[in-house]
Amino acid sequence: MFLSVLAACAGGGPTDTAEPAEPAGLSFVNENNFTFEGLLNIPSFPVGAKADFSMSWAELDKDLQCHDLDPVADIDNVGLMPFPYLSEAEVEDGLARDSLRQVDMGVYLSYEPGDTTEFLLSQVSFGGTDPNIEPLFAEDSGSWLVVLTTGTGVALGSRMLAFVEPRDAETNHAVSVDDGCALLDYSVSLTTLTPLSVSTDTPLTLEWSHLTVTGQGSPLDTTKVSRVMVAHFEDTDLAALEAQFLDLETLATRTWSAPHLSGVQADLAALVADDDQTPFPGFDDTGLWLVALMCSSCPVPAPLGLTLVSFGG
């Protein structure tokens, strides 16, 4: 044994014939992530407690991103979400930070309005059954959030938010929402992150197993990543992107994306252009590039993760 160790130290051991490791793809970690600070100012409407009420959105023509909205064609679902132990301010803060937990909410109630622009409390259902919710709609029963969405999933495609506040002394039983532009105030930083560095030899794979915090500063729930997107901007600088951050997809020269079903990695070569479904060709040294982990069920329409890509040739 001693002689074999001595021979190895003298350079007489076997030659290492292991194959060289494959080059690594893109690893998205916390230092690469953008920062997003959002503030929600959700309108609150007092209505009579333990009684039916109506809410109309017939005059709603701008959503919470201040985008144009058709009150008939664009609203597919009404969600009523009670938070028994949280104040309205706490719900607003939790939504803005994406930090609310399932245990914070009571049952999820919903109604599909079809071609109408109004719902009644008595019309909401729990999984298709009548919950007889009016007796529970009581003063001091917590916070009651109405979410108007495009799509019928829970909080999927949120377009407008409003609180309804049950009060014993209130005689009003009809409210309406008409403008989402004032709901969301935000600031974004894209200048403090560390970009992902790529070259022509970098495999077009992205993994985020060590990304633990969202851009909002909350723990990342990787199951919320619903779509992976790459965006290219030929004539837009960082200041313009920060100023119009929630319009990234419309500002982009081109975007490529694909649904993400599970896991913490994605093959970027499998992304397709959102305009003509052609495959993602890879990064180059023109303009600005970014990669984003999107969340379709998050009330605030900001990515969970987003970083810039620096091309090194």
Pairing of strands 196-198, 305-311: parallel
pTM score, whole prediction: 0.79
For position 144, what pLDDT does the model report?
97
Residues of the chain with pLDDT under 70: 1-24, 153-156, 313
- pLDDT number for residue 18: 44
Q: Residue 272 has what pLDDT?
A: 97
> pLDDT tens digits for 98-133?
888 888 888 899 999 999 999 999 999 998 899 999
Q: What is the mean pLDDT of the chain?
A: 89
pLDDT on residue 138: 96
What per-residue confidence (pLDDT) applies to 7? 30
Domain boundaries, the chain: 26-37+187-311, 42-182
The topology under which CATH files domain 42-182 is: Immunoglobulin-like (2.60.40)
Question: Residue 102's pLDDT is what?
Answer: 81
> What is the DSSP secondary-structure string of the chain?
-HHHHHHHHTT-S----PPPPPPP-EE--GGG--EEEEEE---EEEEETTS--EEE-TT--B-TT--B--TTTS--EEEEEEETT--HHHHHHHHHHT---GGG----EEE--TT-SEEEGGG-BBTTB----GGG--TTS-EEEEEEESSSSTTTTEEEEEEEEEETT----EEE----TTSEEEEEESSSS-PEEE-TTS-SEEE-TT--B-TTSSBP-GGG--EEEEEEESS--HHHHHHTGGGHHHHSSEEEEEE--SSSEEEGGG-EETTT-PBP----SSSEEEEEEE-SS-SS---SEEEEEEE--
Over the stretch 249-266, which tens digit does the pLDDT of each residue have? Answer: 999 999 999 999 999 999
